[in-house]
Amino acid sequence: MLTAMPTASPPPSSQARPAPRDRGDACPGTLRLHAADDGALARIRIPGGVLTTRQAEALGCAARRLGDGDVHLTSRGNVQLRGLRAGCGAELAEVLDTAGLLPSWDHERVRNVVASPLSGLDGVGRQDVRPWLTALDTVLCANEAATELSGRFLFALDDGRGDVSGLGADVTVRAIEDGGAWLTPGAVRVAAGDAARAALAAAEAFLEAARSHGTKAWRVSELALSDEEMAHLVRRRLAAERIDHQEHPEPTGVTGGPRLGLVGDALSVHVPLGRLTPHQWEALTQVAGIEMRLTPWRGVVVPTPDLTAELAAASLDRLAAAGLVTEPGSAWLRVGACIGRPGCAKAHRDVRADAARTLDAGNSAGPSLYWSGCERRCGRPHGEHIDIIATPGGGYQLSATAPGQNTRTLSVGDPSRIRAALAAITS
Ligand code: SF4
């Protein structure tokens, strides 16, 4: 039975500022494992999602030897290893350290950086953000105060195409037409060569604001400050760091994730529900010549500058045969899910199985869907989508919010009626 619920406003998280925190975040990392129902969980920060082939092999090896074998992609282009056996933390840290994935143990949870995955590969962006990425990771790991950032604080480096600008990062730097970089919070232009230092200065301004307000805010949006007040603090910090800056209007235009297939000098694939089996991970590492880039849209971009069109097509065929999505139009592109049962104790259902069942039932067009095992909605995407949230009784609640519109919700007691509910809530 479908039950319409009268609601009149967007969910709190999309509109109001959350209540101030009174504790530090418990976000898992590589050195701080989280005890999940399917074993320990490690979240490994991969700035920009960039992995050398050797690092990718080390991760795959660690997943097989210590965990459930799979490599799980997050909505920030990071990696989670799940099902880790008890007491393996030191061994895991050693493997990752040897592979160069732990450049600063003190900063391992704060290296949350997303970057335009196709930057420098398809000729679309205004500039290659790789130098920004390298510089930001370097200054971040050298900054003692940055260890106070929460594991949820996010930097975004956009090459001007507007892809990662739409991910709601705490600090965004975006390449602009005149060769400079636009920084927010702050709403200022800085020189491209100052982009990394300016991003760090904005993060430091956030930390100062949090300290002076006596709050343990994890994200900029949690500070009780207006955009103008935050911009003022950032500009003051930039001035103190002697970083030239000028007020500048926000660049317009936001796009989504990379196209799939052969895109410029890269292969681009999507990973259904972000879970890569050992076979899929091995196929990717074998196709990747030097590096791969994990995307915040649960995809992988493999730079292939020297590949002929024939070899690129053969590589895509191989990745498709492994179960990765290589062509646009797949229903998987608009479906995401948290881990659900059996991995999470809070989950009311195996949401991944339900998502796959609904997809198999022919639901191949429509809005983006995000399935959650409970009302916490971990990892749900930014932007317009329908939340499908498992409820204690074994059913689901659907919640659709569009910009400028009221939230619409529907309750579904019988999960087999999800398709009908989706049709009803989008009609
Ligand atoms: S949304 Fe709920 S069920 Fe899903 S991972 Fe988060 S806490 Fe677990």
In this structure, the answer to whether residues 123 and 225 fall within a common structural domain is: yes
Q: Residue 65 above 60 pLDDT?
A: yes
The model's pLDDT over 230-251, given as tens digits with 9 standing for 90+, comes to: 999 999 999 999 999 999 999 9
Q: Give the mean pLDDT of 178-202.
A: 98
The model's pLDDT over 324-346, given as tens digits with 9 standing for 90+, comes to: 999 988 899 989 999 999 989 99
Q: Residue 21 above 80 pLDDT?
A: no
- Please report whether residue 142 resides in a domain: no
Q: Residue 272 above 90 pLDDT?
A: yes
Q: Is the CB of 347 under 6 A from ligand 1?
A: yes
Domain containing residue 269: CATH number: 3.90.480.10
In this structure, the answer to whether residues 104 and 218 fall within a common structural domain is: no
Look at 125-134, 230-239, 396-405 and tell me which has the smallest mean pLDDT.
396-405
Across all residues in the chain, what is the average pLDDT?
91
* Contact in structure between 359 and 366 (CB atoms under 8 Å): no
pLDDT score at 365:
65
- Please report whether residue 387 resides in a domain: yes
- Between 403 and 422, the more confident residue is 422
Q: Give the mean pLDDT of 68-83.
A: 96
Distance (angstroms) between ligand 1 centre and the Cα of 373 equals 5
- Please report whether residue 140 resides in a domain: no
- Please name the residue whose Cα sits nearest to atom 2 of ligand 1: 374
Q: Quick one: pLDDT band at residue 20, thresholds 50, 70, 90?
A: low
Q: Give the mean pLDDT of 210-217.
A: 87
* DSSP bridge pairs for 5: 409
pLDDT score at 362:
47
In the chain, pLDDT over 90 holds for what percent of residues? Answer: 78
- Between 367 and 260, the more confident residue is 260
**Beta strands 275-276 and 335-337, pairing class:** unpaired
In this structure, the answer to whether residues 182 and 230 fall within a common structural domain is: yes
pLDDT score at 24:
66
Angle, CA of 166, 43 and 125, to the nearest 5°: 30
Q: Give the mean pLDDT of 185-203.
A: 98
pLDDT score at 9:
35
* Contact in structure between 386 and 402 (CB atoms under 8 Å): no
In this structure, the answer to whether residues 391 and 345 fall within a common structural domain is: yes
Q: Residue 96 above 90 pLDDT?
A: yes
* Contact in structure between 45 and 64 (CB atoms under 8 Å): no
- Please report whether residue 268 resides in a domain: yes
Q: Give the mean pLDDT of 147-163.
A: 97
Question: What residues contact residue 268 under an 8 Å CB cut-off, 6+ apart?
Answer: 117, 118, 258, 259, 260, 261, 262, 299, 300, 301, 302
In this structure, the answer to whether residues 41 and 78 fall within a common structural domain is: yes
- Please report whether residue 421 resides in a domain: yes
Distance (angstroms) between ligand 1 centre and the Cα of 120 equals 36
Q: How far apart are CA 331 and CA 346, in angstroms?
A: 27
Q: Is the CB of 338 under 6 A from ligand 1?
A: yes
In this structure, the answer to whether residues 415 and 266 fall within a common structural domain is: no
Domain containing residue 418: CATH number: 3.30.413
Distance (angstroms) between ligand 1 centre and the Cα of 409 equals 19
pLDDT score at 289:
86
In this structure, the answer to whether residues 391 and 274 fall within a common structural domain is: no
pLDDT score at 27:
85
Q: Give the mean pLDDT of 146-158.
A: 97
Of 328, 345, 372, the domain-final residue: 328
Q: Give the mean pLDDT of 364-368.
A: 73
pLDDT score at 384:
84
pLDDT score at 1:
44
The full DSSP string for 189-241 is EE-GGGHHHHHHHHHHHHHHHHHHTT---SSGGGSS--HHHHHHHHHHHHHHT
In this structure, the answer to whether residues 405 and 355 fall within a common structural domain is: yes
Q: Quick one: pLDDT band at residue 22, thresholds 50, 70, 90?
A: low
pLDDT score at 359:
83
In this structure, the answer to whether residues 314 and 352 fall within a common structural domain is: no
- Please report whether residue 139 resides in a domain: no
Task: Find out whether the peptide bond into 249 is cis, omega within 30 degrees of 0.
Answer: no
In the chain, pLDDT over 70 holds for what percent of residues? Answer: 92
Q: Is the CB of 344 under 6 A from ligand 1?
A: yes
pLDDT score at 84:
96
In this structure, the answer to whether residues 96 and 190 fall within a common structural domain is: no
The model's pLDDT over 294-317, given as tens digits with 9 standing for 90+, comes to: 999 999 999 998 889 999 999 999
pLDDT score at 316:
97
pLDDT score at 216:
83
pLDDT score at 364:
53
Q: Is the CB of 377 under 6 A from ligand 1?
A: yes
pLDDT score at 366:
76
Distance (angstroms) between ligand 1 centre and the Cα of 385 equals 18
The full DSSP string for 123-179 is S-SSS--HHHHHHHHHHHHT-SGGGGS-TT--EEEE-SSSSGGGG--SEEEEE-TTS
Q: Quick one: pLDDT band at residue 15, thresholds 50, 70, 90?
A: very low
pLDDT score at 71:
98
Q: Give the mean pLDDT of 166-176.
A: 97
Q: Give the mean pLDDT of 12-16.
A: 38
pLDDT score at 173:
98
What type of residue sits at position 174?
R
pTM over 0.85: yes
In this structure, the answer to whether residues 123 and 229 fall within a common structural domain is: yes
* Contact in structure between 132 and 115 (CB atoms under 8 Å): yes
**Beta strands 2-5 and 50-52, pairing class:** unpaired
- What is the number of domains present in the chain? 3
Determine the atom of ligand 1 nearest the C-alpha atom of 341. Answer: 3
Domain limits for position 185: 119-131+148-160+167-247
In this structure, the answer to whether residues 347 and 404 fall within a common structural domain is: yes
Testing ligand 1's pocket by substitution, the residue of 37, 275, 338 carrying the most ligand atoms inside 8 A of its CB is 338
Angle, CA of 293, 297 and 302, to the nearest 5°: 25
Locate 185 and state its tokens.
């919070």
Q: Residue 64 above 50 pLDDT?
A: yes
